[in-house]
Chain A
Amino acid sequence: MSSSLLARTYANYEIKDGVAVIRINDPNSKVNTLSKPLQAEMTEILEEIWGNSAVKGAVLISSKPGSFIAGADLNMIQACKSAEEVTTLSQEGQKMFDKIEKSPIPIVAAINGSCLGGGLEFAIACQYRLATKSKKTVLGTPEVMLGLLPGAGGTQRLPKMLGIPAAFDMMLTGRNIRPDKAKKMGLVHQLVDPLGPGLKSPEEATIQYLETVAIEAAKNLANKKLSVKKEKGLVQKLQDMVMGLPFVRKQIYNMVTKKVMGQTKGLYPAPLKIIECVQTGIEKGTTAGSLAESVNFGNLAMTSESLALRGLYHGQVACKKNNFGSPARDVKNLAVLGAGLMGAGIAQVTVDKSVRTILKDTTVEGLTRGQQQVYKGLNDKTKKKAITSFQRDTTMSFLTGQLDYRGFDQADMVIEAVFEDLNVKHKVIKEVEAVIPPHCIFATNTSALPIKEIAAASKRPEKVIGMHYFSPVDKMQLLEIITTDKTSKDTTASAVAVGLKQGKIIIVVGDGPGFYTTRCLAAMLAEAVRVLQEGVGPKKLDALTKGLGFPVGGAALADEVGIDVAAHVAEDLGKALGSRFGGGNVEVLKTMVQKGYKGRKSGKGCYVYEKKSKDKKVNPGVEEILKNHKSCTDVQYRLLSRFVNESVLCLQEGILPDPVQGDIGAVFGLGFPPCLGGPFRFVDSFGADKLVQKMHRYEEVYGNQFSPCQLLLDHAKDSNKRFHK
């Protein structure tokens, strides 16, 4: 009963028992994307199926284990020159999915792996949806994170399917939805368990099982044994009734808009357009809604915000690869020195991937605190039902806490996270090298000390590397790896491999004071201190930095980093890099440290931190200090330009290998505004010439901290020069 027709490249189908099984498999990629050729083949297939009276139903399934359809092909949008072109793309998608929605035979989407963006829009146009409970199965509309909106009917179908509030939540956050939740929400009709090994590998077996169940569902739908319509529960009915009131809906639109404005400061156009499309569809009908959807999609694709966010997406993908080859040895045993916030965080993300980890500290108190931090991190996941208590305990079993060097003779890598003091680091490196095997890598987690100075104490500098994690380690995605000219390629490959295993996005930069991230941040913070000295209060400063799109304000960030650390770094970098790092008076920070205002960790910094109080109060002691250090608008650009100039200088000096890693490091490590896409993307879109002009103006007022670096000047002179193509 099976017949296979004309072989196609991206999709094929066979008829099994009266059901056409359409299998998608992009031969050129690990994931399926909704590309032009796929769409063309799909349209052909559907026409054939609809023209074949023997076909009673259809199943849409992917042959790839981890991906149903991961979204629309971004290159397709990238290639468009105008908003109108993109709008046309959107309309083509809309048309295709409308046809599917109106299909005379039931089409069952059998989802295993990522079903995102255009893939999800495809699935929700089908009559019935099955999803596997595999860990890889996620559903979602992440378009908003790329500065776009679901442009193939998503803004119109989702509100009808899930209700307005749930649809807004899904489209505005872009969050991934797990199968269980999707079933509860009504996004899928039926769940299928993933299988273990049987007569085939688990992946193959699961896909085949899904197909069998889906064929059954298609047959049952065709002969009316299975109905798509579900009895609505009381809550659902009630909600529908309330949503039927135009007044209530208006309230919702207003409320959501207000919330979006609060969170985005109006810097991101996409969420507002999503609200507009939903509203148009509901209030004026689907035709008007679809038109709004396609036009807005086209316009959004041309915005600098979308360009920036898409750039970050590509950059992030690029920074999740190991460009240094596979290391000679896998790191199976890792040791972390120092059970502080950083050390424990590193241990947590390592045991989480089932790597045996030793956490060593010098005191019982420190060790206990660190182990509790790891436990708490895992237990919080248990509470959120992300893992079971059993998985938590198994994961914890990979951690060994100790005060001595027992077991270090088995270590493949040691990451030290001890106090930021060169002498301490030298002492540690000598102690460790006495006990570790010859192949073991010594990584140092420092935020500013030059690695070659640390490595000076080593007998084997080729095995020494910097791994700069960001706090809190389990939440921050970035890892900055720093190599010296002596670090071997294999050492780098190994460090990158470990970082990737820990789930990090990685940039690999050259050695120098403050490397890349710390250096850029220090330049900006120096300016922030000057701004504070000028009489702009911490709250105002935070409002201004957040207004740029930074997730945390300048003053609050200094508190998070630690005023003592900031003072330390500012002084060190000032010494190493000269007056360029001037601006704010380091004495401000030093006085704060003397008074015990070390930031959040000491309870007082720029702000006063009280438990349970959400609204931070400005620390009156700091206001006093600032008065004693007395020294306009444009504050935002002063902060930004110092950050950006330092980034470009890092590229010029070869600390940074390329602009992509510069953008990724700034956004994921330091919270550089994602809507600007990173310092290099910002220069491209803002214009190097305009930036240089502004800087020259500041230079006249404030001095050489604002002197643009040569590379920036080059770009200003020649408008054809761009960091990103």
Chain B
Amino acid sequence: TIYFLSKTLAKPNVKNIVLVDGVRTPFLLSGTSYSDLMPHDLGRGALQGLLNRTGVPKEIVDHIIYGIVIQEVKTSNVAREAALGAGFSDKTPAHTVTMACISSNQAMTSAVGLIAAGQCDVVVAGGVEFMSDVPIRHSRKMRKTMLSLNKAKTLGQRLSLLGSIRMGHLMPELPAVAEFSTAESMGHSADRLAAAFGVTRVEQDEYALRSHRLAKKAQDEGLLSDIISFQVPGKNIISADNGIRPTSMEQMGKLKPAFVKPHGTVTAANSSFLTDGASAVLIMSEEKALALGYKPKAYLRDFVYVSQDPKDQLLLGPTYATPKVLEKSGLTMEDIDVFEFHEAFAGQIVANLKAMDSDWFAQNCMGRKSKVGVPPMEKFNTWGGSLSLGHPFAATGCRLVTTVAHRLQKEGGQYGVVAACAAGGQVFLPKYTYAQLARADTEYSRGATVQVFLVHSFGLFSVHVLCMKMTMCKSVQKHF
């Protein structure tokens, strides 16, 4: 077993990349204590928390990548706004990524890519979602009138444009409630998925209850140590999630189906809820981390993204991606000590577990000879999940990765797997299904052998890109 434990997944000619630490704000039901903030406020909180907890010198951060799904138009590059507000150096470039519910997974894997490519050594990644306020727009007709109004030269033209406004112009446009490609809401899709795998209402309620109970236990035992307190400006300090509500099967059983009526099985109680929250992680090359004297929490080894049919397989990503990443690293299900899967809906999790346990599905839908195999439940989301802790779309990925690292440390495991489908909560829906997997393995028995690296603070390339951006802005302005 000694040999086994020292089995390393390091790849020749690729830098070892490590998770130094990760934090998150408390996740709150939207419309509660965070309701008067803006997205970048929460992002700032997470980033500041990361600075405080790790003590990383601001000047050595090469790049900041942040994810978000529902964008506030005033802060479209929310990464930059949050970073500046959090006190990061204004010389550190920051960009925002979006990939539905796995936006911060995308932020992290982009960071891994930058480090692996030798572009950076120290990258901060994270994500924020703020559902207490969403952009509700004027109707297209009204917007067109208003834009024409800008160009109108005479009073007469302006008046005639104003006169063309009708009642219909005043109808606001809400963010899409349905998948753009299929016009189907996520909850509806989850309900159909549950039915396709014969997942019963009771199974879903039981799973949701498990999530809440385990989250409560983890909260009570102080295991959710990735949480940093957040001071709502001018108000109180928030230091715990507020969506964890272990009730009873009876109470959950009383709820009516939320999407498919009257015979559906997905309810408000067995779905993840609309959440406000932000998360952040510090990722470095191993050499760099060690040079700085850190004891990293985990290696980030490998990842896979997959896409499927957005209609019938929207939420099945984890089933497809898990075996892929395992095979890529030469591991099997049995090697994994910790599983953290994103819980969009209880029905979706149970459906994925059934899919992984099905030879029919493996043979007919995945082109495999036999089933993937099911993760043992005692290793699966044992500190709660999105159903109970909450699911701020773009912040969930970092929570999953940090949780894996913490669980591996706490439970003494070696390998962990994170999987998430790009499933929205109940209302706002992403475009495709991507499942993302970041593998973390801890083999941190090595001492902190210090090597000193030269700090390449800004590559010429980054500066160049920023300059280009400036000129572009100018030329765009001229154009107008």
Residues of A within 8 A of B (CB): 190, 192-202, 205, 208-209, 213, 216-217, 388, 390
When the two chains form their complex, are residues A197 and B196 in contact, meaning their CB atoms are under 8 A apart?
Answer: yes
When the two chains form their complex, are residues A198 and B262 in contact, meaning their CB atoms are under 8 A apart?
Answer: no
Q: Which residues of B have CB within 8 Å of A197?
A: 196, 312-313, 361, 364-365
When the two chains form their complex, are residues B354 and A199 in contact, meaning their CB atoms are under 8 A apart?
Answer: yes
When the two chains form their complex, are residues A195 and B358 in contact, meaning their CB atoms are under 8 A apart?
Answer: no
When the two chains form their complex, are residues B196 and A388 in contact, meaning their CB atoms are under 8 A apart?
Answer: no
Question: Is the C-beta of B198 less than 8 angstroms from some C-beta in chain A?
Answer: yes
Q: Which residue of A lies closest to B308 (CB)?
A: A196
| Interface residue from A190, A199, A202, A388 paired with B263 (Cβ < 8 Å) | A190
When the two chains form their complex, are residues B196 and A205 in contact, meaning their CB atoms are under 8 A apart?
Answer: yes
Q: How far is the CA of A216 from the CA of B265 in the complex (A)?
A: 13
When the two chains form their complex, are residues A190 and B262 in contact, meaning their CB atoms are under 8 A apart?
Answer: yes
When the two chains form their complex, are residues A198 and B181 in contact, meaning their CB atoms are under 8 A apart?
Answer: no
Question: Is the C-beta of B454 less than 8 angstroms from some C-beta in chain A?
Answer: no
Q: How far is the CA of A216 from the CA of B195 in the complex (A)?
A: 14
Closest Cβ–Cβ distance, residue B254 to chain A (whole Å):
15
- Write 26 A-B pairs (CB below 8 A) sorted by A numbering: A190-B262, A190-B263, A192-B263, A195-B195, A195-B196, A195-B312, A196-B193, A196-B312, A196-B313, A197-B313, A197-B361, A198-B193, A198-B198, A198-B361, A199-B360, A202-B196, A202-B312, A205-B195, A205-B196, A208-B198, A213-B263, A388-B181, A388-B183, A390-B180, A390-B181, A390-B183
Q: How far is the CA of A361 from the CA of B197 in the complex (A)?
A: 50
| Interface residue from A190, A198, A216 paired with B196 (Cβ < 8 Å) | A198
Q: Which residues of B have CB within 8 Å of A200?
A: 360
Q: How far is the CA of A213 from the CA of B260 in the complex (A)?
A: 12
| Interface residue from B182, B197, B263 paired with A198 (Cβ < 8 Å) | B197
Closest Cβ–Cβ distance, residue A212 to chain B (whole Å):
8
Question: Is the C-beta of B309 less than 8 angstroms from some C-beta in chain A?
Answer: yes
Q: Which residues of B have CB within 8 Å of A193?
A: 188, 191-192, 195, 260
Q: Which residues of A have CB within 8 Å of B262?
A: 190
Q: Which residues of A have CB within 8 Å of B181?
A: 388, 390
A199-B197 CB under 8 A given contacts A192-B263, A213-B263, A390-B182: yes
When the two chains form their complex, are residues A196 and B183 in contact, meaning their CB atoms are under 8 A apart?
Answer: no
Residues of B within 8 A of A (CB): 180-183, 188, 191-193, 195-198, 260, 262-263, 309, 311-313, 351, 354-355, 358, 360-361, 364-365
Q: How far is the CA of A190 from the CA of B313 in the complex (A)?
A: 24
Q: Which residue of A lies closest to B312 (CB)?
A: A196
Closest Cβ–Cβ distance, residue B176 to chain A (whole Å):
12
Q: Which residue of B lies closest to A192 (CB)?
A: B263
Q: Which residues of A have CB within 8 Å of B354?
A: 198-199
When the two chains form their complex, are residues A216 and B309 in contact, meaning their CB atoms are under 8 A apart?
Answer: no
Nearest 4 Cβ contacts at the A-B interface: A196-B312, A198-B196, A195-B196, A198-B197
Q: How far is the CA of A461 from the CA of B355 in the complex (A)?
A: 53
Q: Which residues of A have CB within 8 Å of B198?
A: 198-199, 208
Q: Which residue of A lies closest to B197 (CB)?
A: A198
Closest Cβ–Cβ distance, residue B262 to chain A (whole Å):
7
A196-B309 CB under 8 A given contacts A209-B195, A216-B263: yes
Q: Which residues of A have CB within 8 Å of B192?
A: 193-196
Q: Which residues of B have CB within 8 Å of A213?
A: 263
A190-B262, A198-B351, A388-B182 known; 15 other A-B pairs, CB under 8 Å?
Answer: A193-B188, A193-B191, A196-B196, A196-B313, A197-B365, A198-B195, A198-B354, A198-B361, A199-B197, A199-B360, A202-B196, A213-B263, A217-B263, A390-B182, A390-B183
Most chain-B Cβ atoms within 10 A of its Cβ — which of A190, A195, A196?
A196
Q: Which residues of B have CB within 8 Å of A388?
A: 181-183
Q: Which residue of B lies closest to A208 (CB)?
A: B198
Q: Which residues of A have CB within 8 Å of B313?
A: 196-197
Q: Which residue of A lies closest to B263 (CB)?
A: A213
Q: Which residue of A lies closest to B360 (CB)?
A: A199
Closest Cβ–Cβ distance, residue A191 to chain B (whole Å):
9
Most chain-A Cβ atoms within 10 A of its Cβ — which of B195, B351, B354, B358?
B195
Closest Cβ–Cβ distance, residue A6 to chain B (whole Å):
29
| Interface residue from A190, A201, A208 paired with B364 (Cβ < 8 Å) | A201
Q: How far is the CA of A192 from the CA of B195 in the complex (A)?
A: 11
| Interface residue from A190, A196, A208, A209 paired with B311 (Cβ < 8 Å) | A196
Q: How far is the CA of A217 from the CA of B263 in the complex (A)?
A: 9
Q: How far is the CA of A192 from the CA of B354 in the complex (A)?
A: 22
Q: How far is the CA of A202 from the CA of B196 in the complex (A)?
A: 8
Q: How far is the CA of A213 from the CA of B198 in the complex (A)?
A: 12
Q: Which residues of A have CB within 8 Å of B197?
A: 198-199
Closest Cβ–Cβ distance, residue B64 to chain A (whole Å):
34
Most chain-B Cβ atoms within 10 A of its Cβ — which of A192, A197, A201?
A197
Closest Cβ–Cβ distance, residue B63 to chain A (whole Å):
35
Closest Cβ–Cβ distance, residue A111 to chain B (whole Å):
15
Q: How far is the CA of A198 from the CA of B354 in the complex (A)?
A: 9
Q: How far is the CA of A388 from the CA of B312 in the complex (A)?
A: 16
Closest Cβ–Cβ distance, residue A78 to chain B (whole Å):
41
Q: Which residues of B have CB within 8 Å of A217?
A: 263
Q: Which residue of A lies closest to B195 (CB)?
A: A209
Q: How far is the CA of A440 from the CA of B188 in the complex (A)?
A: 45
Q: Which residues of B have CB within 8 Å of A194?
A: 192
Q: Which residues of B have CB within 8 Å of A201?
A: 364
Q: Which residues of A have CB within 8 Å of B196?
A: 195-199, 202, 205, 209
Q: Which residues of B have CB within 8 Å of A195?
A: 192, 195-196, 312
Q: How far is the CA of A208 from the CA of B191 in the complex (A)?
A: 15
Q: Which residues of B have CB within 8 Å of A202?
A: 196, 312
Closest Cβ–Cβ distance, residue B361 to chain A (whole Å):
7
Q: How far is the CA of A155 from the CA of B72 in the complex (A)?
A: 58
Q: Which residue of B lies closest to A213 (CB)?
A: B263
When the two chains form their complex, are residues A199 and B188 in contact, meaning their CB atoms are under 8 A apart?
Answer: no
Q: How far is the CA of A197 from the CA of B364 in the complex (A)?
A: 9
Q: How far is the CA of A197 from the CA of B198 in the complex (A)?
A: 11
Q: Which residues of B have CB within 8 Å of A208?
A: 198
Most chain-B Cβ atoms within 10 A of its Cβ — which of A193, A198, A205, A217?
A198
When the two chains form their complex, are residues A199 and B195 in contact, meaning their CB atoms are under 8 A apart?
Answer: no
Closest Cβ–Cβ distance, residue B132 to chain A (whole Å):
30
When the two chains form their complex, are residues B182 and A199 in contact, meaning their CB atoms are under 8 A apart?
Answer: no
Q: How far is the CA of A278 from the CA of B181 in the complex (A)?
A: 44
Q: Which residue of B lies closest to A205 (CB)?
A: B196
Q: Which residues of B have CB within 8 Å of A192?
A: 263
Most chain-A Cβ atoms within 10 A of its Cβ — which of B181, B182, B263?
B263
Q: How far is the CA of A321 from the CA of B458 in the complex (A)?
A: 69
Q: Which residue of B lies closest to A220 (CB)?
A: B262
When the two chains form their complex, are residues B361 and A199 in contact, meaning their CB atoms are under 8 A apart?
Answer: yes
Q: Which residues of A have CB within 8 Å of B311?
A: 196
Q: Which residues of B have CB within 8 Å of A205?
A: 195-196
Q: Which residues of B have CB within 8 Å of A216?
A: 263
Closest Cβ–Cβ distance, residue B173 to chain A (whole Å):
16
Q: Which residues of B have CB within 8 Å of A390?
A: 180-183
Q: Which residues of A have CB within 8 Å of B312?
A: 195-197, 202
